[in-house]
Structure 1
Amino acid sequence: MTVGVVRVEGVPTLVGEAPWWQRVAGGVRAEFAGVAQRALGEEAAGLLPGLVIGDVSRVSEKVRGDFREVHLSHLTAVSGANVTILLGAVLLSMRVLTVDLRVGVAVAAVALVMFVVLARPSPSVLRAAVMGAVALLAMVGGRRKQAVPALCAAVIGLVGWSPGLAVDWGFALSVVATAGLVVFAPGWSEWLRARGWWRAPADAVAVSAAAFVVTTPIVIAMTGHVSLLAIVVNVLVEPVIAPITVLGALGAVLSCAWSPAAEAVVRCTGPPLWWLLTVADRAAALHASVQLPGGVRSGVVAAVLCAIVLGALRPRRGGVGPDS
Structure 2
Amino acid sequence: MTSTSPAIEAKGLRRRYGSTRAGGFTAVRGLDLTVRRGELFALLGTNGAGKTSTMELIEGLARPTAGTVRVLGHDPYRERAALRPRIGIMLQEGGFPGDLTVAETVAGWAGLASAPRPAAQALDLVGLGERAAVRVKQLSGGEKRRLDLAVALVGRPEVLFLDEPSTGLDPQARAAVWQLVRELCAEGTTILLTTHYLEEAEQLADRLAIMHQGRVVTSGTVAEVIADRPGRISFELPEQPATSLLPLPGAEVGFSGRKVSVRTTELQRTLTELLTWAAAQDVTLHGLDARSATLEEAFLAIAADAGPPEPADEPAAPARRRGLIGANR
TM-score higher than 0.5: no
TM-score by length of structure 1 reads 0.26
TM-score by length of structure 2 reads 0.25
Structure (1/2) with the larger strand percentage: 2
Structure (1/2) with the larger helix percentage: 1
Mark the structure with the bigger radius of gyration: 2
